[in-house]
Structure 1
Amino acid sequence: MGRKADLLFVTALAITSAAPAHGADRQIISIAPGRLGEATIALARQTRTSIGMSDQSLAGIRTPAVTGTLSVEAALKRLLKGSGATARRIDGATWRIVRTRPALPASAPAPIPAAPAQDQPEAQIVVTASKRETPLFRYAGMVEALDSRAFSSGEAAGGTATLLARVASLSSTHAGAGRNKLFIRAIADSGVAGPTQATTGQYLGDMRLNYAAPDPDLKLYDVGRVEVLEGPQGTLYGAGSLGGIIRIMPNAPNLGEMGGQVSAGLSATQHGDPGGDLSATLNLPIVAEKLALRVVGYGVQEGGYIDDVNRGKEDVNRTRTWGGRAALRFAPDDDWTIDINGVYQRIEGDDAQYATRSVGRLERASAVAQPYRSDYLLGNIRLEKQWDSLRFVSSTGFVRHDLSESYDATQPGGPPALFRQRNEVDIFSTENRLVRDLDNGLGWILGGSYLQSTSKIYRSLTGFGAALIQPEVLPGVPVFGRGQPAAATGVRNSVKEATLFGEASFEPVRGLIATFGGRLTNSRLSGEALDPVAALSSADLARAEAQADRSETIFLPSASLLTDAIPNVTLYARFQQGFRPGGLAVDDQRVRRFQNDRISTLEAGFRMGIPGRDRIALSGNIAYTDWRDIQADVTDRIGLPTTANIGDGRLYTLEGRIVARATRTLTLDSSIIYNDSRLTRPAAFIRALSYDNKSLSVPNVANLGGRVAFDYRTSIDDLTNVHLSGSARYVGKSRLGVGPILGQTQGDYVDTSLSASVTRGPVQYSLSLTNLFDSDGNRFSLGTPFDLNTDYYTPLRPRTLRIGVDFAF
């Protein structure tokens, strides 16, 4: 009956839904005299459009200055006047520049045929997450840029899982949607969730999404672009960007044209329940050229596939997500833009995502259900003022993130027991910066920011036995039985950060760019125990809280050298630092302080060609990272998540990527990452866990990862386009934690996907298949932290088929 009800629910979802709108309108445009390649980069950035070229030799054509409040079409006409080229409009946000007369003599080799117009890549990739909108070929570092073409409605429903499938250097703990920890490169602390700050910074536009909490896993509907910058990124993004940052840029309201899109999908998971997704996007100009509203709403259900044989229940790990975004844009004149944004999302997981190999594939035997819930709320206002090449940007906002989790705490031979943990995180942040964008990535940025974050972790233990006297599970915590909860010791951590930062790039000699920057941060930290158990000493509590109340000032320098003196080749070297402030954690029902940690990375790399633009694009990077006083979320002797400094470590990372346009319609993409990590100076309690004098690796760092993919796009006629894509990603071996108790291995699996779509006019039909070979790979080896000896594993979602339809208007 349950599956029939789910099927009816999913069928109802498929009747309606929605996605991004497209359109053009008059905007403030300011382009200096130069060449067409640079001019189209600037125009695409200022108008948030995609501008491609059928022939890259057009990039060298001289162009005049273009300024004023113009439509994209009018600006392109001015740029191309007398150039022998013209612009063709593909859709509301895509243009293609083609020649109107032959560029080569008859004896010259024929140029490579252009890709279909609607799929032509941008003339250049601009790294907007650099906050100075740097062209990719002049950015010193590893970056992955995914534009709106990368996300179908089905992939948008996957949220962070879609990014994991596309970026080889990005990894996750896979504890469940809304409760995962994300890692970039090999900068990972551990797999359990304690009070420590994330190693990866996440942003929606200029607004910070997370602090001392897991990935909120926002769905990617109506998103124009996602950039993943490898870290550390301490100069521009401050604390919590040790591994790097993920910046999601949603489509902004269009001031001149009404539009929208509806999308829906049905999915079937082998060995499990059906699922479905729907979305709706509407762009509504309120006052032409002045005021517009853009609204996105969505709902996603992921069918369960884990059976609990002890409780006699099937497919217990079903997850539901619903939420939306609203954005209001006001452009009072040619120089000012004001954006007000709001986000809400709720995730409900019926049960945990893990299984037990000794019980059976996709099965476990739990005494109680272990549901979880994530509520996420964000509000933000952004102001931008433009003076030619000078920009002022101010972003201020508030985040409330509540995550409730539960773990099976049943002891051998005892009655069922459930441990609950609720993490309430409040973030207020504001950043104000002045930016000077000069040609080819030169210029400077100067800014200041203030952040205040408070994290409160509440804990309780509930026994379900009939007797009033129960076996002790947590020292000092009574077990009342009969479903009555008893409070366990929790913790509150608060941090206030005031920051000044700056960065500047200059060209001392032609073809050599030097960049220097720094960030000065003063952090005021405080902490206290919440609901301390009676067994805790008042003196110990007072001492720990006194240690937590302190002020720290830290300076993070950065420097890089880059040369593009070799045509179509970029060489760079970079030094960058990052840090995380300390705080309080509960260890064995005692409150203890953990210190801040600091990371320094020296890297060198190269880049040849631009992915999607050139026939062959290559990039590579080698990095050495020194990590001091590593903060890691671990488990204490009882099994509770806690945070401690586990010592010093070092990491070597080697990365490479090649993107080849095999034909005008087919692109091949492959990447690889190798990590070698060691705890060079483990903390005393960690050294005690080292057995047989074996060296210890940094937790959750896979030794090897890689991805291969293809993308095929073609046109059948003027109205019909076909898109095929597929990928396979390998995730290497890693360990859950340090020592023999948390030394379980995980990873060493291949995840695969295949998708196809046909677009005819405003309608698109799609079909996708994930986990083609129905792999049972282990993504995460932790089940319940109260039992670290059972062979728990978190399997890949079994083979899943999705059918979808999108309609744009």
Structure 2
Amino acid sequence: MGAAEAAWGGMHRKWAIAALWLAAVSCPLAAAAQAMPAQKGAGRALDVVLSRLAAQGGYQILFDPRLLSGRRLAGQLPRDVSARQAMAHALQGTGLRLREAAPGVLIVEMAPAAPQPAVLNSDIVVTALHRPTRLGRTAMAISAVPGTALPQRRIFDSRTLHRQLPDLVQVPTGPLQRRLALRGVSGTGEGTVGTYYGETPVAGPSGTGFDAGATAPDVDLIDVERIELLKGPQGTLYGAGSMGGTLRTLFNRADPSRLAGEVAAEGAVTAHGQPGWAASGVLNLPLATNTLALRVAVGRRYEGGTIDNVRLGLRNTDDRRRESERVSVAWTPSPDLRLDAMWLQQRNSVGDAGTADLDAARLSADRTVRVPSREGLSLASATLHWNPDGLRVVATASHYDWDIVKQLDFTRVIDRQRGSTAACLRYAATIGGTACDDTIRSAFVAYVDARLPAALYQPMSVESSSGELRVGNAGDGPSGWTVGTFFEHRTDAVASNTVRADAASGLVVQPLDLTGLRLIATTLDQQAVFAEGRQALGRTVVATLGGRLYRYVRHAEGSTPIPNIITGTARTETGDFRSSEDGANLKAELAWTPRPGILVYATAAQGFRPGGVNITPELNDQERTYRADRLWSVEGGVKAPRLLAPLGLEASVYRIGWNDTIFAANSANGAFTYNTNLSSVRIHGGEMQATWTARRWSVAASAAIVDARLSADTLLGTNDGVGYRGDRLPNIPVITYAVIWDWEIAEKAAGTSWTMGGGLTGNGGSESTFNRESAYREHNPARVVADLYISASRGAWTVRAGADNLFDALATGRVTSSGFGLHQLYVTRPRTITLGLRRSF
């Protein structure tokens, strides 16, 4: 047997063992769950009674086991009442009550003896562990934003999430493009932060640089139930896995119990730019009482441009448009079976690059080319929730198509080749010459001039089909288990057209006037099985162990129908190239509750990203592929959401060892990028959040510190220069922070509820390259942005007035220089005054 066959056989044995293990774990536990006898009559344990009633009514119920320890049902339950009414009856005389924390999720808690403050953020019910838990009692570093806070804070897309999630670093990478980073884990290749919409993971197109992580999805945040940000590696509960963390957006489900909806409109005026507007509508329509419902959400938004092109004499060129539709259906044929289906479309466009020049007047750019870009995402998913006796089964099937037309100013890259002898020789070969003498060089320079101004016109697409199956115990207590399997088949393609732009308008000449054309197509197939089990060790300690087995295969092929003799794309090697890998990730965790309201945890977990293949001119065989990178994260944290009545505190510290880090390298002429493996990175950091909640006002402050450095010299130059041990990773600020507050000026009892609030978000400075040796080094300055709003609610109506970027700060998000352009600024939108009206029914 050959080495390849042995490796293939070994891989099959791993998957066979994993399948047998999955069956061995699931079957006896399922049988045991089904064999559980029902208890009847007065005197039954109260926790068992409530759990049974919740299951019968299709609810998920949360309670502290110590709160119900030793309590028994007093008397008989009434007949012919709903499960919810029966649970309330069971709690009579106990000093406890039921509270609905989320649709279908009930919490058992002490009944208040007097009016209480507003619900604390720690009471948000999250499903990050694929079971409902309170945020303040979830043994992991996680932030959650309730959907009701989004319109209040004017968070309408992924870009504006920084107002509540400052530690989710968003690095602009181009028109409509951002790279997400958590805890300093940032590199090219696959995204380091997983992005989920519902149960569906969404990854961007690879493009010419095989950098799917450079384009994070961006869907309108309309009719959202909750956003969850999970920090640290996620692989033993999430099929797609992630290295740095996972961002989950959970939309409101269709509700078959009532007809409801909402309409909203907003107008905006922006300093130094054009005005904007937005409108949205939501309709929830029951089709069969308590069984079938349809929910529709529609959004439109226009943001006027703010950046002027002084060379072309154009003002406010970077206007943005967003259009979205979403349809969801919920069908509940029985209390233990539910099917959720969703379809969404998102279309975004921008009129230009959206960057200003550091050396020009404020919000001005001196460019020869305009680069309008657009994208369209279509996603469909179906999720089956089945709760047979003692089990919780979730099966999801998803498919999405994402099309992007990206444009880049290529003038500087082409113009710099005037003096290139290699480019001159390539030109000479096209006219039968063998040398670059003065005559041929003059002709070559004239040819370059004729192809200016230049642009890259790159239509690209990604299509993915994925599925995930999870099986776990139905209980939400301290002991339990989850096992699952995941697959994905993803294809993407890009056509990189080097074209000529019109010197007068700055737009690409239509039909395309081609200088060169390069085609790239890739496929990624990945599979995984994963499992996680937790076990109570006494009354205050819970131990969790998890594991994941994965395998991926990536294919890539490229061709050059029209060689670009100026940049040398004819030397792109054609053919089908392949890379693959399989392996395992582990997780271990201990959680300790020394007393009610305090949680201490420690976690060690591995993360992983697939490697791949480069289809780039002039690469040797060793540079053609790059390996998967992986990391170990060790973390400790403490949560005390009610430490001193109104005061709550959370804190965590971590250390990450990241090996074979994938980063982008430059070709010799600066026209192309490709992925390579650095040596290693070490990251140390910590996070803190403090909340203070009183009867009519609340304040929350959060901060994150990240120290991400190379732990060894890089072996070659990258996009960010040659790196040496101790250099910080580029574009990662050491500190990010936010302070948000709300003050209820007048209560609803007075007829109208008035609320004033605001926020302060910011980050420290960072560098754009590893060190000062890079010719393209830039400093990203520290920035602070303040927001303020006031709202009034009366009945079904709410009116809101606000000021974003209150002090009109320039607030630079990134300064970038490269072969494409120098000293380009991504800045925060200038002061924007908004007035919005919302009505629910």
Same fold (TM over 0.5): yes
Deviation digits for residues 106-126 of structure 1 (CA, Å, limit 9, x no counterpart): xxxxx6x523xxx53588443
Contact 1:238 1:579 survives alignment (8 Å): no
Does the Cα contact within 8 Å between 1:735 and 1:742 map onto a contact in 2?
A: no
Contact 2:58 2:336 in 1 (8 A): no
**Is the 8 Å Cα contact of residues 730 and 750 (structure 1) preserved in structure 2?**
yes
Structure 1 residue 652 corresponds to structure 2 residue 684: yes
Counterpart residue type for residue 256 of structure 2:
L
Q: Tell me what 1:473 maps to.
A: none
Query: 1:366/1:748 Cα in 2 relative to 1: closer, same or farther (>3 Å)?
Result: same
> Which whole-Å CA distance do the structure 2 matches of 1:650 and 1:177 have between them?
31
Contact 1:175 1:353 (C-alpha < 8 Å) held by counterparts:
no
The answer for the alignment partner of 2:374 in structure 1 is 373
How do residues 583-598 of structure 1 correspond to structure 2 at under 5 angstroms? Answer: 583-588=612-617, 590=619, 592-598=624-630
Q: Classify 1:219/1:670 alpha carbon distance in 2 versus 1 (closer, same or farther; 3 Å).
A: same
Asked if 1:428 corresponds to 2:465, the answer is yes
The amino acid across from 1:621 in the alignment is S
Distance 1:362 1:510, change over 3 A: same
Q: Is the 8 A contact 1:629 1:647 kept in 2?
A: yes
Match of 2:252 in 1: 251
CA contact (8 A) 2:712 2:725 kept: no
- Deviation of the 1:153 alpha carbon: 6.6
Closer/same/farther in 2, CA of residues 577 and 438 from structure 1, 3 Å limit? same
Identify the residue that residue 788 of structure 2 maps to in structure 1.
754
Distance 1:693 1:151, change over 3 A: closer
Q: What is aligned with 1:496?
A: 525
Whole-angstrom distance in 1 between the partners of 2:320 and 2:453: 24
Normalised by the size of structure 2, how large is the TM-score? 0.80
| Residue 820 (structure 2) pairs with residue 804 (structure 1) | no
Tell me which residue corresponds to 1:204. Answer: 197
Tell whether the 8 Å contact from 1:37 to 1:60 is kept in structure 2 after alignment.
Answer: no
CA contact (8 A) 2:722 2:770 kept: no
Match of 2:419 in 1: none
Distance 1:200 1:703 in 2: 18
Residue pair 2:682, 2:710 contacting (<8 A) in 1 also? yes
The 3 A distance-change label for structure 1 pair 256 and 499 is same
Q: Which amino acid aligns with 1:81?
A: Q
- Note the residue ranges of structure 1 that are not aligned, 5 or more in a row: 1-29, 104-110, 191-195, 467-478
Task: Give the superposition deviation at 1:135.
Answer: 3.9
- Cα distance in structure 2, aligned partners of 1:242 and 1:372: 30
Structure 1 CA distance, aligned partners of 2:543 and 2:607?
A: 20
Measured after TM superposition, the shift of residue 484 of structure 1 is 0.5
Are 1:588 and 1:638, in contact at CA under 8 Å, matched by a contact in 2? no
Determine if the alignment matches structure 1 residue 77 to structure 2 residue 96. Answer: no
Partner of 2:362: 361
Amino acid corresponding to residue 202 of structure 2 in structure 1:
L
**Amino acid corresponding to residue 138 of structure 2 in structure 1:** Y
Using the size of structure 1 for normalisation, the TM-score is 0.83
Q: Quick check: 2:712–2:724 contact (8 Å CA) kept in 1?
A: no
Q: How far 1:202 sits from its partner (Å)?
A: 0.8
* Bigger mean CA offset, 723-732 vs 591-600: 591-600
Conserved? CA contact 1:604–1:621, under 8 Å: yes
What is the CA-CA distance between 1:354 and the residue it aligns to? 0.5
Alignment of 1:391-430 (within 5 A): 391-411=392-412, 414=449, 415-430=452-467
Provide closer, same or farther for how the CA distance between residues 517 and 752 of structure 1 changes in structure 2, counting only shifts above 3 A.
same
Query: Deviations for 1:637-690, whole angstroms, at most 9, x for unmatched residues?
Result: 4244433323311111111111112x2111111111111111122432138986
Equivalent residue of 2:295, what SS? strand
Q: What code does the residue aligned with 2:344 have?
A: V
**1:615 equivalent among 641, 646, 661:** 646
- Deviation string, structure 1 residues 84-114 (Cα, Å, up to 9, x no partner): 57779999999999999x95xxxxxxx6x52
- Name the CA shift for 1:483/1:431 in 2 (closer, same or farther; >3 Å): closer
> 2:820 is matched with which residue: 787, 791, 809?
787
Correspondence for 1:701 among 713, 732, 750: 732
Specify whether residues 444 and 135 from structure 1 end up closer, same or farther in structure 2 by C-alpha distance, changes over 3 A only.
farther
User: How far apart are residue 240 of structure 1 and its match?
Assistant: 5.5
Distance of 1:806 and 1:390 partners within structure 2:
41
Which residue does the alignment assign to 2:752? 720
- Counterpart position of 1:152: 151
Q: Which one-letter code corresponds to 1:807 in the other structure? A: R
- Alignment RMSD, CA only? 3.8
Conservation of the 8 A alpha-carbon contact between 1:274 and 1:302: yes
Distance 1:725 1:43 in 2: 40
Aligned match of 2:586: 557
**Deviation of residue 420 (structure 1)?**
2.0
CA distance in 2, matches of 1:83, 1:652: 47
Larger Rg: 2
Query: Where do 1:341-352 residues align within 5 Å?
Result: 341-352=342-353
2: CA distance between counterparts of 1:605 and 1:641? 39
Q: What is the CA distance between 1:600 and its match in structure 2?
A: 1.2
**Residue 455 in structure 1 maps to residue 499 in structure 2:** no
How far is the alpha carbon of 1:515 from its aligned partner? 0.3
Aligned AA for 2:190? Q
Of residues 624, 628, 635, the one that matches 1:603 is: 635
Instruction: For 2:251, give the aligned amino acid.
Output: P
Aligned to 1:327: 328
Q: Using the alignment, how far apart are the partners of 2:235 and 2:671 within structure 1?
A: 33
Residues 244-253 or 739-748, more deviating: 739-748
Give, as a single letter, the amino acid of the residue that structure 2 aligns with 1:771: N
> Structure 2, unaligned stretches of length 5 or more?
1-37, 205-211, 417-448
Q: 1:347 to 1:47 in 2, by over 3 A?
A: farther
Task: Report the residue type matching 1:147 in the other structure.
Answer: P
8 Å Cα contact 1:517/1:558 also seen in 2 = yes
> Compared with structure 1, are the counterparts of its residues 291 and 567 closer, same or farther at alpha carbon in structure 2 (3 Å cutoff)?
closer
Structure 1 CA distance, aligned partners of 2:178 and 2:720?
A: 26
Q: Is the 8 A contact 2:181 2:192 kept in 1?
A: yes
Quote the offset at 1:593 in angstroms. 1.9
- Deviation, 1:486, is 3.8
Q: CA deviation at 1:74?
A: 2.9
Write the letter of the residue equivalent to 1:114.
Q
Give the conservation status (yes or no) of the 8 Å contact 1:310–1:366. Answer: yes
Q: Which amino acid aligns with 1:77?
A: A
Deviation of 1:464 after TM superposition, in Å, equals 3.6
| Distance across 1 between alignment mates of 2:96 and 2:593 | 28
Contact 1:154 1:265 in 2 (8 A): no
The aligned counterpart of 2:230 is: 229
Q: Which of 145, 160, 163 is matched with 1:162 structurally?
A: 160
Return closer, same or farther for 1:706/1:525 CA change in 2, 3 Å cut-off: same
Contact 1:177 / 1:217 at 8 angstroms: preserved in 2? no
The within-5 A match list for 1:265-276 is 265-276=266-277
Identity %: 25
Alignment partner, residue 678 of structure 1: 709
Q: Which amino acid aligns with 1:599?
A: L
Distance in 2 (CA, whole Å) between partners of 1:97 and 1:172 is 39
Pick one of 567, 580, 589 that aligns with 2:609: 580
Structure of higher RCO (CA pairs closer than 8 Å, 6+ residues apart): 1
The worse-fitting range, judged by mean Cα deviation, of 438-447 and 60-69 is: 60-69
SS in structure 1 at match of 2:359: coil
Contact 2:733 2:763 in 1 (8 A): yes
Indicate the residue corresponding to 2:14 in structure 1.
none
Instruction: Give the letter aligned to residue 219 of structure 1.
Output: D
**Structure 1 residues 75 and 461, CA, compared in 2 at 3 Å: closer, same or farther?**
farther
| Cα pair 1:564 1:570 within 8 Å, conserved | yes
Amino acid at match of 1:451: E
